Amino acid sequence: MTHIAIIGECMIELNGAPFGNMLQSYGGDTLNAAIYLNRSLNKQGVAFSDVRTSYVTALGTDSISQEMTRRWQNEGISTDLVLSDPKRSPGLYLIQLDDEGERTFLYWRNDSAARYIVQHPEFTDVMTQLDNADMVFFSGISLAILPDADRVELLAKIDKLRNNGVKTAFDSNYRPKLWQSIATTQEAYLLAYQATDIALVTFDDEQLIWQDKTPQDTIARLHKLGVQIVVVKMGSEGCLISENPNQDPVSIPTTPVTNVVDTTSAGDSFNGGFLARYLTGGSVAQACQHGNALAGSVIQHHGAIIPQSVTDTLSTLIEKSTHANY
């Protein structure tokens, strides 16, 4: 059985107009990726028993935390590595959308259980269990929410896992409001990339953080830091991949989407689709095409996690991309 552990935070989601109709749900970048990963596996005809997806986080003991856990289990996600913090609860975020489907976030997460996961008395035991995982995936938000010392400790543990043979994947997913400064972000991301085998990054983020002029600049910089596989996501332009710094990057186009409703989970669903195909033996190019197809469908619906009934209807597009040859 292939085992991937995904580290991060899930929050209560409010989606809608302030003082108007609000839809309550839940979401978080890495949790969204975990759900779309499992749904993609189902579309590939891979039983959840063949790939174990574990979510690593901390929640409270309140009723909302319990309901979140139950819903993740219904998605086939293992919650054995979810820690309980009786003193804290999940964070909360509000999504506001403009007419083009672009989103603005407001957060309330300073005292969330996930923020203090590294200080949890059982956290070291959880990370020890990950020695037996095949892959660990984390993001820039997984790092940004942590106190400085905790962030360094988590990255040291991830680096140790990599040295022990566990594959590591990282999405830089940059949210400026979560960081003290660009310098702080750069310091953390340098450590993250040095502990990363597969980088799934967005070019707009890399430009903001590092002032890269082209996606090729991003690829060259990440390879120099020791990243083996670099995937640069470029929205409607698809993505650019590099598995060898001595060869030209390969462009993987995507089908243009004219009916963009909500881009909240575009990158997350790409990550989920990519990881599902990669973990089941697909090439990096096939994994990217799968991610492109899934993200293109997800952004035509509202919410970070679209209904299961909707993803069940996406099989034709995703199946075609899954079996494409590159």
pLDDT tens readout for residues 61-97: 999 999 999 999 999 999 999 999 999 999 998 877 6
**Does 114 score more than 80 pLDDT?**
yes
**Does 43 score more than 70 pLDDT?**
no
In a domain, 224, yes or no: yes
Catalytic-residue membership of 29: no
What distance in Å separates the CA atoms of residue 313 and residue 43, rounded to the nearest whole number? 10
Number of domains in the chain: 1
What distance in Å separates the CA atoms of residue 134 and residue 15, rounded to the nearest whole number? 35
* pLDDT of 326: 42
What distance in Å separates the CA atoms of residue 37 and residue 43, rounded to the nearest whole number? 10
Locate 119 and state its tokens. Answer: 């200080």
Q: What percentage of residues in the chain have a pLDDT greater than 70?
A: 90
**Does 323 score more than 60 pLDDT?**
no
Residue 181 maps to which CATH number?
Answer: 3.40.1190.20
**Does 15 score more than 90 pLDDT?**
no
Q: What percentage of residues in the chain have a pLDDT greater than 90?
A: 72
What distance in Å separates the CA atoms of residue 322 and residue 276, rounded to the nearest whole number? 10
Strand order in the sheet with 250-252: 82-84, 51-59, 2-7, 135-139, 167-171, 198-202, 229-233, 239-242, 250-252
In a domain, 95, yes or no: no
Residue 11 burial (CB count, 10 A)? 22
What distance in Å separates the CA atoms of residue 30 and residue 36, rounded to the nearest whole number? 10
**Does 325 score more than 80 pLDDT?**
no
**Does 164 score more than 90 pLDDT?**
yes
Q: Which of 40-54, 270-284, 291-305 has the lowest mean pLDDT?
A: 40-54
**Domain of 197?**
2-10+28-90+113-323
74, with CB counted inside 10 A (0-12, 13-18, 19+), is: exposed
**Does 207 score more than 70 pLDDT?**
yes
Of 111, 150, 268, 312, catalytic: 268
* pLDDT of 210: 98
* pLDDT of 235: 87
Q: How far is residue 92 from each of residues 13, 75, 112, 255, 294, measured CA to CA in Å?
A: 6, 21, 9, 33, 26
Task: Give the mean pLDDT of 297-314.
Answer: 76
- The confidence band for 173, taking pLDDT boundaries of 50, 70 and 90, is very high
In a domain, 274, yes or no: yes
What distance in Å separates the CA atoms of residue 254 and residue 291, rounded to the nearest whole number? 9
What distance in Å separates the CA atoms of residue 187 and residue 36, rounded to the nearest whole number? 30
* pLDDT of 315: 53
In a domain, 20, yes or no: no
* pLDDT of 48: 59
How many residues are recorded in the chain? 326
* pLDDT of 170: 98
In a domain, 64, yes or no: yes
Helices (H), the chain: 29-43, 63-74, 123-129, 140-144, 148-163, 182-194, 203-210, 215-224, 266-279, 284-298, 308-311, 315-322
What distance in Å separates the CA atoms of residue 239 and residue 241, rounded to the nearest whole number? 7
Q: What is the mean pLDDT of the chain?
A: 90
In a domain, 99, yes or no: no
* pLDDT of 318: 55
In a domain, 256, yes or no: yes
In a domain, 185, yes or no: yes
Strand order in the sheet with 11-16: 22-27, 11-16, 92-97, 103-108
Locate 241 and state its tokens. Answer: 């991949």
SS3 180: coil
